[in-house]
Amino acid sequence: MTGGLHWIDGVVVASYIALVLWLGWYYSRRQTDTGDYFTGNHAMPPLLIGISLFATLFSTISFLSTPGELINKGPVILTGMLAIPLSYIIVGYLLIPVYMRQRVTSAYELLETRLGLPARMLGAVMFVLLRLSWMSMLIYLASKAVLEMLDLSHDQLQVVAAATGAIAIIYASMGGLRAVVITDLLQFLLLFGGAVLVIVMATVKIGGTDWFPTSWNPAWDTQPLFSWDPYVRVTVFGTILHGVLWWVCTAGGDQTAIQRFMATRDASAARRSFLVNSIAGAAVSIVLALVGFSLLGFYQEFPAELPEGRTIAADADILFPRFISHELPVGLSGLVVCGMFAAAMSSIDSGVNSISAVVMTDFIDRFRRHPVSEEHRLRIARWLAFGIGVAVVMASAHLDHVPGNFLEKTKRTIGLFVAPMFSLFFMAVFVRFATAWGAIVGAACGFLAAAIVAYWNFGVDYFSQLSAAPDTSVIASEPISYQWIFPVSLAASIVCGCIASVLIRLFRHDIAS
C-alpha cells in the first residue's frame, strides 16, 4: 500500500472483500427461484430489513458529506433528525399498509392496477434512471475518498472506481436480496464502528473533548430558522421539511425501499423494519456529527497535518478520509476503510438488485410472450444485475465534471426524480379522480420544476453570457437552495396532475355527451 495506509491495512481490506464475496457465493447456492432472489420469499426478519434499508439509503455520500457539511457550514443539518417521528407516522401508518396489501415484486405493478400500463412504465423508467445516477455518484465519491487515502493521482480515479464497483456487482448478482441484506448488517456495523473509532482517536490526539463546540463557530454559515429567500442555502425549517419529504417520497415511491417492505411477512413487520431504520439513522447521524466536530477540533489544533495549499473550509469533504489514512493506527485504518467501502457497497448492491427486479418484472416479464422456467429467469436476473453494474461503473467516470460539494452533487441529481416518482403513487392511491395521463403530466411537470430549481443559476449564467458584450466576464449567479427542490417538485407534480386529470375527465365527458 502507498500513502497513509500500511500493507497491514491492505490485508484487512482484502479480508473484508473476500468475506463479502464468499457470502454472495454462499447464498447463490441456496436460491431456487427469483422470488428468493428479489424478495427473500417474504420471510426476512424486520431487524435485518430495517438495518438493510438504512445501510442502503445512508450511502457513502452521507458517510462523507455529513461531517464535511457540519465542519464547513454548521450543525443545522442535525435538525433533520426532527423529521424522523413525522416520517415514521406517515410511512408506517399511511403508506406501508396500502403497499403490504399487495404482494408484488416490483412496486410499479401497483401503478398499472390503478392507472394503467403507461404510468407503470414511467414509474419504472424514472426509478431506473434515479438509481443509475445515484449509484454512479456513489462509486465516484467513494473512489475520490480512496484516492485521498492512498495519496494517488487523479489519473487513477477510473481504476479505483472499477475496482469498487466490481466487488459490489459480483456479490449482488450472485446472492440476491438475502446476500445484500446479510452484508448490509455487516457493513452497518463497520460504518458505525469506524465513525466511533475516529471520534475516540481524535479525542486521544487532542487530549480531551475540548473539540466539542460550546459556541457558534464564526466560520459557519448563518442558518436561520426560516426564510422565504430561495437563495438562503439552509434553514432549520427547510432541513426538517426536506427530511420528511425525502423519507416519504423514497419509502413510498422507490423500489429499493418497497422491495424491503415486501420481504417481510406483514404490515406490522414492515413497520417495525422502518422503525429500526429510523433509530439507526438517528444514531449514526449523531455519531457522524460528533465525527465532524472532532475533526474540526483536530485540524484547528494541528493545522500542519493538512497538506500545503489545503484549508479546512475548502477541503471539508476530504478531512474524514484523510484522518482515516494518516492519523489512525495501522490495522485500524483498514477497518475504517472497510466501513467507508461498506457505505458505498451496501447502496450499490441494493440498487443493482432493485433495478434488476424492476427491469425483470416491469419490462421483460411484462412483455414476454412465452413463459420460461424459474431457472432461466434466475439466470437472466443475475446477468441483468451484472450488466447494470458495469453500466454504473462506466457512468461514474464522467461525473468529475458535475459542480458542487458531495452533498449538493447528490441533491441536484437524484432530487430530480424522487418527488415526481412518488407523485405517481400519490395520485394512484389518494386521488380518486386521477387519470393515467393526468398523473403522467403531473410527474413531467414535477421533473421540470425540480430541474429549474436545481439548475436555475446555470440557466441564468448561460443567458447572461449570451447577452453580455464581447470580451466581458459575467459574475456567476447564486444557486437556489437545494432544500426547495423536493417541496416545489412535489407540489408541482400533485397540482398539475390533479388539474390535468380534471381536464381530461371533462374532455371525455364532453365527447361522451
List the grid coordinates of 95. 403508506
Distances (CA, A) of 392 to 131, 177, 423: 9, 19, 26
Q: Where are the domains of the chain?
A: 7-400
In 3D space, the residue among 198, 134, 145, 178 whose CA is nearest the CA of residue 341 turns out to be 145
Second-level CATH architecture of 7-400 = Up-down Bundle (1.20)
* Pair 265, 47: CB distance under 8 Å: no
- Residues 4-21 pLDDT 10s: 678 888 888 888 778 777
Residue at grid coordinates 395521463:
437
The amino acid occupying position 180 is: V
In 3D space, the residue among 422, 391, 505 whose CA is nearest the CA of residue 133 turns out to be 391
| Tens place of pLDDT per residue across the chain (513 aa) | 445 678 888 888 888 778 777 766 776 665 554 444 444 454 567 777 777 777 667 767 788 889 988 998 899 989 999 999 999 999 999 999 988 887 766 678 889 888 999 999 999 899 889 988 888 888 888 888 888 887 777 778 888 888 877 776 665 565 555 556 666 677 677 778 888 999 999 999 999 999 999 888 888 888 899 999 999 989 999 999 999 999 999 999 987 788 788 888 889 999 999 999 999 889 888 999 999 999 999 999 999 998 888 899 888 888 998 898 889 888 888 877 876 776 666 667 667 777 877 787 778 877 777 776 767 777 777 787 778 778 888 888 777 766 667 788 888 888 999 999 999 999 998 999 999 999 999 999 999 999 999 988 776 665 555 555 555 554 556 789 999 999 999 999 999 999 999 999 998 877 776
DSSP 465-497: HHHSPTT---PPPPPPPGGGHHHHHHHHHHHHH
First vs last C-alpha separation in the chain: 78
Residue at grid coordinates 457493513:
187
Q: How many helices (H) and strands (E) does the chain have?
A: 21, 0
In 3D space, the residue among 452, 458, 457 whose CA is nearest the CA of residue 415 turns out to be 452
